[in-house]
Amino acid sequence: MSILTNAIVRLRLLWGRPGLRRLTTNVGWLLADRLLRMIGGLLVGFWVARYLGPTDFGSYNYALALAMIVGSVATLGLDNIVVRDLVRAPAESPAILGSAAVLRLTSGLLAILIAVGVAALLRPGDQTAIALTTLFSLASPLQALSIIDLWFQSRVDSRDIVVARNAAFFAATTLKVSLLLAGAPLIAFGWVFAAEAVLGGLAVIVAYRRRGGRLRAWHPAAARARSLLADSWPLIFSGLLVTLYLRIDQVMIGQIVGDTELGVYSIAVRIAEVFPMLPGVIIASTFPSVVAAREVDEALFYDRLRRLYALVAAIGYLSALAITVCAPWLIYLLAGPGYASAAPMLTVLIWASLFSGIGMARSTYLNTANLAHLHTITVLLGCLVNIGLNWLLIPRMGGMGAAIASLVAYWLAGHGSCYLIPKLRNTGNMLTHALLWPKFW
């Protein structure tokens, strides 16, 4: 009883700290946002997969992968850089937000042209693939409004934007369900994707205005834009590389094996991608506190990193073990017997997500310590290995070959590469310790 009493007293003392309470509340809102999107997206997404069948679902994901690869450049790697600058200099937020928004709008418009051109080059005469890629790419220029989300992140206060985003998500989900019930064609789901991007942009504006923010107060500054790009240019390239080694497998399966195999593989990917969401929420919420800790005390900085790495590893292990046991049943329940061959692919991909989560956590250290250029090197190694293994394994093993390639590449990029770069060996040791003994308390 005394142990329980002491634990309760300690929890009350911890909850009494305003910073911890604020962080926990923010994590709760972000987690609720991700969970709602995850559950709604899975239920409707798998309904779409059943409705379209593996071949059309493969065509859908082929175009989506192309749009996401090109669109990754449109974000310009600004997320953590903008949050960092807003934390350090909140008085300069109008110039920071305005400059970042203009940069993303310009790059987003360019991304549409590039994505459609690549689709026409790879699939000449395939009007469906080109049209879908165009519709999916419309989300790229709307990344300019996602800068508002970064403002909320810097304040560790995400309640309003979570409510707004989920209102837009609910509206788009309702549209998608209406299409399913009406027996709509494949291209209609591309239009819904574009509509959701527009609704999401309008929603974040409403949330920002509710907190007293005014878009008219933003004033882009050339000097600030140059400063943002100077800090983020390694992340632009690494962001493209990350998306390449996350999505290039789907493009290569579609090109080499065909859309039917891609449709089956995409089901496994959809499920595996859900589980890094929780680490992503935790990492996004703790990033401002890690930045602040480095300004105060180096020991505190590394202690927070250690706990973050261990927590992400623990979540990764729990997810991987659960899915390994449940994969066949889960695929049958969600997607139906037509996608049964996705189960072994999912088992491999869920273990790959353990290392992708570790890599996400490590980026907190790299961005805080101004070592973002090393992130580019590690991701480049992972991307090259992934493409090479995909080229060798997909013709022989189809989707399973792509899953194995992802596992090796994610481990190399997120963990193994630390031992190839002298400046990251200490970080690699911390990650190894977290993987061997994920004690985060």
The rounded distance, in Å, linking the Cα atoms of 150 and 88 is 14
The rounded distance, in Å, linking the Cα atoms of 354 and 313 is 7
The rounded distance, in Å, linking the Cα atoms of 159 and 183 is 36
Grade residue 11 by pLDDT with cuts at 50, 70 and 90: very low
Q: Is 375 among the domain residues?
A: yes
Query: What residues have CB less than 8 Å from 197, skipping those under 6 apart?
Result: 138, 139, 142
Q: Which residue has the higher pLDDT, 83 or 325?
A: 325
Q: Is 290 among the domain residues?
A: yes
- pLDDT tens for 163-211 read 777 777 888 888 889 999 998 999 999 998 888 888 888 887 887 777 7
| Residue 145: its H or E element | none
Q: Is 190 among the domain residues?
A: yes
Query: What residues have CB less than 8 Å from 178, skipping those under 6 apart?
Result: none
Grade residue 25 by pLDDT with cuts at 50, 70 and 90: low
**For residue 298, what are the domain limits?**
2-436
pLDDT at 8 over 70: no
**pLDDT (0 to 100) of residue 300:** 80
Which contacts (CB < 8 Å, 24+ apart) does range 48-51 have?
48/176, 48/180, 48/189, 49/263, 49/266, 49/267, 49/270, 49/335, 49/339, 50/335, 50/336, 50/338, 51/180
The rounded distance, in Å, linking the Cα atoms of 426 and 409 is 21
- pLDDT tens for 403-418 read 999 999 999 988 999 9
Q: Are 238 and 246 in contact (CB under 8 A)?
A: no
Q: Is 279 among the domain residues?
A: yes
Q: Which residue has the higher pLDDT, 305 or 61?
A: 61
Q: Is 441 among the domain residues?
A: no
Percent of the chain with pLDDT over 70: 89
Q: Output DSSP code: residue 232.
A: H
- pLDDT tens for 278-324 read 777 778 777 777 777 777 777 888 888 888 888 889 988 998 999 99
pLDDT at 28 over 80: no
- pLDDT tens for 216-260 read 778 788 887 788 888 777 777 777 877 887 789 999 999 999 899
Report how many domains make up the chain: 1
Percent of the chain with pLDDT over 90: 31
Q: Is 21 among the domain residues?
A: yes
**pLDDT (0 to 100) of residue 32:** 64
**pLDDT (0 to 100) of residue 441:** 64
Among positive and negative, which fits the CA dihedral 288, 292, 297, 298? positive
How far is CA 286 from each of CA 155, 157, 373, 441, rounded to the nearest angstrom?
12, 12, 22, 15
Q: Which residue has the higher pLDDT, 135 or 21?
A: 135
Q: Which residue has the higher pLDDT, 410 or 148?
A: 410
Mean pLDDT of 262-272: 92
**pLDDT (0 to 100) of residue 228:** 80
Mean pLDDT of 49-73: 91
Grade residue 268 by pLDDT with cuts at 50, 70 and 90: very high
**pLDDT (0 to 100) of residue 5:** 46
Q: Is 56 among the domain residues?
A: yes
Q: Is 376 among the domain residues?
A: yes
